[in-house]
């Protein structure tokens, strides 16, 4: 029996000594979610509205009768709301509303980046707003021809906002929003039926 106690003591001491070394124990790094999105391909948005633009083929568009369009991204649980309004001597008010929409999220934002957009060839002028932080909407834009047409877009994720978690999806959809601005063409009475 005395021999068994010595053996157990020796094994216990051996285990303790083997577990001691000079290396610092560091916690494992946090796992990062690696979201990988397909390379975006685009299709024409089909509406009877006085504008045409391209949307991501991975999205589903639901045009409304008042020239509003809901663009859903089912794979990332996000919705982009497009709203068209004609300019009727109210450009200043429309611009203020477009800016107000973005800055309404300022109280939850860590910052707002404004990216002007100018395409004189297509008569498209506007601003893309990137809202950093846990805001309800992290990206919006407005575009106008300054005479007849005004279009806004607002992106919402259908989850509680957590900026770090949605950032990869946000970057993906922001590229689509830029593509919308770049592909936008205003329809006149001469080309209203084009798509």
Asked if residue 80 lies in contact with residue 177, where contact means CB atoms within 8 angstroms, the answer is: yes
Q: Determine the pLDDT at residue 11.
A: 62
> What CA–CA distances, in Å, run from 194 to 12, 44, 47, 50, 61?
83, 10, 10, 10, 18
Strand partners, 35: none
Global pTM?
A: 0.77
pLDDT of residue 195: 43
Region of 26 (left: φ > 0; alpha: ψ -120 to 50; beta: rest) is beta
Retrieve residue 59's tokens: 């999205």
Residue 21 lies in a domain: no
User: How many residues in the chain?
Assistant: 195
* In a domain? residue 68: yes
Q: Which residues of 106-145 are buried (b: 16+ CB within 10 A; e: fewer)?
A: eeebeebeeeebeeeeebbbbbbbbbeebbebbbbbbbbb
Tell me, what CATH number does 151's domain have?
3.40.1000.10
Match 């390379």 to its residue by tokens. Answer: 39
Pairing, β 68-73 against β 139-144: unpaired
> For each of the chain's 195 residues, which pLDDT tens digit applies?
666 777 676 666 666 666 666 565 566 555 555 567 889 999 999 899 999 999 999 999 999 989 999 999 999 999 999 999 999 999 999 998 888 777 775 666 788 899 999 999 999 999 999 988 888 889 999 999 999 999 999 999 998 878 888 899 999 999 999 999 999 999 986 454 444
Q: What is the pLDDT of residue 90?
A: 94
**Is 83 a domain residue?**
yes
Domain hosting 149: range is: 42-186
Does 101 map to a domain?
A: yes
- Domain assignment present for residue 191? The answer is no
133 in any annotated domain: yes
Residue 194 placed within a domain: no
Distance CA 96, CA 91 (A): 9
Residue 27 inside a domain? The answer is no
Q: How many domains does the chain have?
A: 1
Nearest to 156 by CA among 52, 70, 54: 70
In which residue are the tokens 């690696």 written?
A: 34
Q: What's the CA gap between 84 and 163, in Å, rounded?
A: 28
């Amino acid at each position: 029996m005395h021999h068994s106690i010595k053996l157990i003591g020796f094994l216990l001491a051996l285990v303790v000594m083997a577990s001691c070394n000079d290396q610092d124990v560091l916690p494992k790094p946090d796992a990062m979610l690696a979201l990988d999105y397909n390379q975006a391909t685009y299709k024409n948005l089909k509406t009877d509205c006085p504008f045409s633009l391209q949307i991501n083929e991975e999205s589903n568009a639901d045009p409304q009768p008042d020239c509003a369009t809901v663009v859903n991204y089912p794979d990332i649980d996000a919705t982009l709301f497009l709203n068209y309004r004609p300019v009727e001597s109210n450009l200043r008010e429309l611009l203020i509303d477009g800016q107000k929409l973005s800055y309404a999220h300022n109280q939850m934002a860590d910052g707002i980046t404004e990216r002007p957009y100018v395409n004189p060839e297509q008569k498209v002028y506007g601003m893309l707003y990137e809202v950093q932080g846990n805001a309800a909407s992290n990206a919006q834009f407005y575009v106008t021809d300054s005479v007849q047409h005004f279009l806004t877009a607002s992106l919402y994720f259908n989850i509680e906002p957590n900026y770090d978690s949605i950032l990869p999806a946000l970057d993906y959809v922001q590229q689509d929003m830029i593509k919308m601005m770049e592909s936008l063409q205003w329809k006149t009475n001469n080309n209203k039926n084009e798509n």
